[in-house]
Amino acid sequence: MGEARAVEQGRPLGLAVLGAGRIGQVHAAAAAALPDIELRWVQDAVPAAAERVAAANGARAAGTLEEVLADDGVDAVVVGTPTPTHLEFIERVVETGRRVLCEKPLHLDLAAVDAAARRLGPAAARVMVGFNRRFDPDFAELRRRMGGAEAGEIGRIEQVVITSRDPAPPPQEYLAVSGSIFRDMTIHDFDMARNLVGEIASVSASGGALFDVGARAVGDLDTAMTTLTSASGVQVLIVNSRHSASGYDQRIEVFGQDGTLRVENHRTSRVRLDTAAGTDQGAVWEEFFLTRYEAAYRAELQSFVTAAREGLPFSPGFDDGRQALALAVAAQRSLEEGRVVTVNEVDTAAEVDAPSELDAAGPTPLTREAHV
Ligand SMILES: NC(=O)c1ccc[n+]([C@@H]2O[C@H](COP(=O)([O-])OP(=O)(O)OC[C@H]3O[C@@H](n4cnc5c(N)ncnc54)[C@H](O)[C@@H]3O)[C@@H](O)[C@H]2O)c1
Same domain, yes or no, for 91 and 146? Answer: no
Domain at 202, CATH number: 3.30.360.10
Whether residues 255 and 171 share a domain: the answer is: yes
Do residues 167 and 119 both lie within one domain?
no
**Is 6 part of a structural domain of the chain?**
no
Biggest alpha carbon–alpha carbon distance for the chain = 70
Give which of 84, 100, 36, 31 is closest to 59, Cα–Cα: 31
Nearest Cα neighbor of 289 from 101, 26, 17, 21 is 26
Q: Domain of residue 276: give its range.
A: 135-292+323-361
For position 371, what pLDDT does the model report? 27
Q: Do residue 209 and residue 109 come from a single domain?
A: no
- In angstroms, what CA-CA distances link 216 with 167, 174, 320, 332? 18, 13, 30, 16
Are 228 and 345 in the same domain? Answer: yes
Question: Is residue 368 domain-resident?
Answer: no
C-alpha to C-alpha distance for 212 and 243, rounded to whole angstroms? 9
> Is 2 inside any structural domain?
no
Q: Count the domains in the chain.
A: 2
What's the confidence (pLDDT) of residue 283? 84
**CB distance 164 to ligand 1 below 6 Å:** no
Residues 18 and 83 in one domain: yes
Q: Are 5 and 96 in contact (CB under 8 A)?
A: yes
Query: CB of 27 within 8 A of CB of 80?
Result: yes
> Which protein residue has the closest C-alpha to ligand 1 atom 32?
45
Q: Which atom of ligand 1 is nearest to the CA of 132?
A: 1
> What sign has the CA pseudo-torsion 45, 51, 54, 60?
positive
* Termini Cα distance of the chain: 45
Residue 335 and residue 186 share a domain: yes
Residue 29 sits in the same domain as residue 63: yes
* Pair 232, 198: CB distance under 8 Å: yes
**Residue 15 contacts residue 40 (beta carbons within 8 Å):** yes
Ordered alpha helix ranges (H), the chain: 22-33, 47-56, 65-69, 86-94, 110-120, 137-146, 172-177, 181, 187-197, 213-217, 289-292, 294-310, 318-337, 343-351, 357-361
Does residue 370 form part of some domain?
no
pLDDT of res. 351: 57
Examine residue 221 and state whether it is found in any structural domain, yes or no. Answer: yes
- 21 C-beta closer than 6 A to ligand 1: yes
Distance between CA 99 and CA 74 in Å, rounded?
10
Q: In this structure, are 337 and 232 located in the same domain?
A: yes
3-class secondary structure, 200: strand
Task: Establish if 371 belongs to a structural domain.
Answer: no
The answer to whether the CB of 20 is under 6 A from ligand 1 is: yes
Which domain CATH number covers 48?
3.40.50.720
Question: What per-residue confidence (pLDDT) applies to 312?
Answer: 92
- Quote the ligand 1 centre to 133 CA distance (angstroms): 18
Do residues 175 and 281 share a domain? yes
Q: Does ligand 1 come within 6 angstroms of the Cβ of 24?
A: yes
Nearest residue by C-alpha to atom 7 in ligand 1: 23
Nearest CA among 36, 35, 34, 42 for reference residue 13: 36
pLDDT in tens, the chain (372 residues): 778 888 888 899 999 999 999 999 999 999 999 999 999 999 999 999 999 999 999 999 999 999 999 999 999 999 999 999 999 999 999 999 999 999 999 999 999 999 999 999 999 999 999 999 999 999 999 999 999 878 899 999 999 999 999 999 999 999 999 999 999 999 999 999 999 999 999 999 999 999 999 999 999 999 999 999 999 999 999 999 999 999 999 999 999 999 999 999 999 888 989 999 999 888 889 889 989 999 999 999 999 999 999 989 999 999 999 999 999 999 999 999 999 999 999 987 665 544 444 443 333 333 333 222
In a domain, 330, yes or no: yes
* Any atom of ligand 1 within 6 Å of the Cβ of 242: no
Cα(84) to centroid(ligand 1), Å: 10
Burial category of 67 from C-beta neighbours within 10 Å (exposed 0-12, middle 13-18, buried 19 and up)? middle
Question: 162 and 93, same structural domain?
Answer: no
- Whether the CB-CB separation of 186 and 164 falls below 8 Å is answered with yes
Statement to judge: residues 229 and 328 lie in one domain: yes
> pLDDT value at position 362?
38
Would you say residue 369 lies in a domain? no
